[in-house]
Amino acid sequence: MSKAKRVAPRWVCQNCGAVSTGWFGKCPACDAWNSIEQELAPPNPGERPAGSSVVVASTDAQTQVDSQPRRPCGLAEVDRVLGGGLVPGSVVLLGGPPGIGKSTLLLQASVGLARRAGVVLYASGEESVAQVASRCARLAASHKNLLLMAEQRIEEVLAQATERVKQPGRAGPELGALIVDSVQTVYSGGQDGLPGNLTQIRAVTSQLVAFAKHHGVPVVVVGHVTKDGQLAGPRLLEHLVDAVLSFEGDEERATRLLRATKNRFGSTQELGVFEMRGDGLREIANPSEAFLTHREAPAIGSCVTATLEGSRPLLLEVQALLAASFGNPRRTCVGVDPVRLAMLMAVLDRHAGLFVLDQDVFVNVVGGMRLSEPASDLAVLLAIASSHRRQPLAPGSIAFGEIGLTGELRPVPRSEARVQEAARLGLKRVILPAGPKPATRALKDSLDSLHLGASVELRYARTVAEAIELGFS
């Protein structure tokens, strides 16, 4: 008689998924406290559980692939970030701080889904049905296919969702989407602990993923974030879902930004822009105009740049202020990488002859936006130079270009789209890096074909010193 194989336990961090040799109070991988729990090790490779069946399919032309179309929600900004809409069978995590408008966004998107994709089941673990219905009435987000339920037990939520999955011979619309608000408020009856702890969040998410993959129904899960912007739950949760959306904003501003930090079915570079109003969120189709400050005359310490957010060119205003330093000079920036700012100031000092290292420098991107691509280097530098000279840039100016440590300007991709966006908003004087002659000629020919060649003045610079002189001449 053979002895049964002993299943060895292992210690797994519930926050990051790291495997340890034993129990630690603090995870060696992610530094999370009291997150390591004992689990049974998975079966040996090659072992197959009794009665299991796995479908293995080829990807050649003879394979019948179930390519279901995306399900748009009707909000163009949301569909843009998702890559065209929700993918059937996908799980999307929508994160953001409490009160930012996540529930408002999902309710408005649910109406569009209910009109196009069938039944949308909205399960709230935070509010009653009457409270959610009252919000729907205020947002004008009501539809016969939008069903509301207040339930914290995930098994009951999935049971109600399964009953509405389209079955052969069953009449009525199919289940178009399942929305759970939020993952921190629901729990699994098969797990110990209160809603929101590491074990419960992991178990709930795993059940939602299994439901989405089995029935081909998109699932959207709401997740709150902490004050430092981290998801209030295990980081392992982000690995379980297909897409992670971040809903950002400032309590002092009405602007709300939707980004994708993970998207298995689309780009993570797209940006959705909204404005929070009393009757809900309004899409901003022209964000460049919304972020620019409209002045009758140019301001000192200000420069407009053109950045790319996915396929969308976006015009942003960079502001800089230099002040006398009393002690160690300060470097304060909002929306700009502080390491990048320090590098640009060193280049400005060494290659442009502007001695600013002994002054306090404050840099801000208007509208609460972040400049992430190097193409914004030239605008930041010109804004600092304008504040140092106490002289505004020439009217109607816009600048973009990457700056190297040797003081040279490097071309950036999609200059044509940036120039077009600038011309559309009335900025006719573009300062940009001088690239190869074929690229320069191609840009001019492209603008001529769009009848913009005569209205837009392209001023090329090869070095930082040349760009500064062009900016004020």
Residue 450 is part of which domain span?
A: 290-472
Tens digit of each residue's pLDDT (9 = 90 or more) over 2-38: 454 555 567 877 767 677 778 888 888 778 788 787 7
Decide if 248 contacts 256 (C-beta within 8 A).
yes
Pairwise pLDDT comparison (16 vs 334), residue with the higher score: 334
Q: How far apart are the first and last CA of the chain?
A: 93
Is the CA virtual torsion 216, 222, 228, 234 positive or negative? negative
- Domain boundary residue among 285, 310, 340? 285
Q: Residue 20 pairs with which residues in a beta bridge? A: 11
Extract the runs of DSSP E, i.e. beta strands, from 204-301: 219-224, 243-249, 255-263, 271-277, 280-283
Question: What is the band of 167 on the pLDDT scale with cuts at 50, 70, 90?
Answer: low
Average pLDDT over residues 311-320: 92
CATH number at residue 345: 3.30.230.10
Q: Cα separation of 103 and 99, whole Å?
A: 9
Examine the pLDDT at 233 and tell me if it is beyond 80: no
Examine the pLDDT at 63 and tell me if it is beyond 50: no
Predicted pLDDT of residue 46 = 52
Tens digit of each residue's pLDDT (9 = 90 or more) over 404-419: 999 999 999 999 999 9
Q: Cα separation of 75 and 139, whole Å?
A: 14
Residues 166 and 274 in one domain: yes
Examine the pLDDT at 296 and tell me if it is beyond 60: yes
Residue 398 located in a structural domain: yes
Average pLDDT, whole number, for the chain? 85
- Domain boundary residue among 285, 302, 320? 285
Residues 462 and 348 in one domain: yes
Residues 434 and 331 in one domain: yes
Residues 172 and 254 in one domain: yes
64-78, 106-120, 314-328, 346-360: which range is least confident on average?
Answer: 64-78
| One-letter identity of residue 305 | T
Predicted pLDDT of residue 406 = 94
Predicted pLDDT of residue 47 = 54
Residues 83 and 111 in one domain: yes
Residues 256 and 380 in one domain: no
Examine the pLDDT at 329 and tell me if it is beyond 80: yes
Question: What is the band of 442 on the pLDDT scale with cuts at 50, 70, 90?
Answer: confident
Residues 279 and 319 in one domain: no
Average pLDDT over residues 305-316: 90
Residue 62 located in a structural domain: no
Residues 29 and 83 in one domain: no
The number of distinct structural domains making up the chain is 3
Examine the pLDDT at 43 and tell me if it is beyond 60: no
Residue 128 has a CB neighbour count (10 Å cut-off) of 11
Q: Cα separation of 82 and 245, whole Å?
A: 9
CATH number at residue 169: 3.40.50.300
Residue 63 located in a structural domain: no
* Range picked from 11-20, 130-139, 245-254 for highest mean pLDDT: 130-139
Examine the pLDDT at 66 and tell me if it is beyond 50: no
Query: What pTM did the predictor assign?
Result: 0.78
Predicted pLDDT of residue 229 = 53
Residues 298 and 279 in one domain: no
Residues 271 and 300 in one domain: no
92-101, 234-243, 272-281: which range is least confident on average?
Answer: 234-243
Residues 218 and 246 in one domain: yes
Residue 447 located in a structural domain: yes
Examine the pLDDT at 64 and tell me if it is beyond 50: no
83-92, 184-193, 289-298, 431-440: which range is least confident on average?
Answer: 289-298
Residue 364 located in a structural domain: yes
Residue 49 located in a structural domain: no
Average pLDDT over residues 111-136: 93
Q: Cα separation of 467 and 403, whole Å?
A: 11
Predicted pLDDT of residue 1 = 47
| Residues whose CB falls within 8 Å of the CB of residue 10, separated by 6 or more in sequence, listed in order | 19, 20, 38, 39, 40, 41
- Domain boundary residue among 236, 268, 285? 285
Pairwise pLDDT comparison (270 vs 231), residue with the higher score: 270
Residue 101 located in a structural domain: yes
Residue 51 located in a structural domain: no
Residues 381 and 423 in one domain: yes
Examine the pLDDT at 320 and tell me if it is beyond 90: yes
Predicted pLDDT of residue 196 = 80
Q: Which of 3, 75, 121 is nearest to 283 (CA)?
A: 75
Examine the pLDDT at 363 and tell me if it is beyond 90: yes
Pairwise pLDDT comparison (462 vs 69), residue with the higher score: 462
Average pLDDT over residues 453-461: 88
Examine the pLDDT at 228 and tell me if it is beyond 70: no
Q: Cα separation of 463 and 406, whole Å?
A: 9
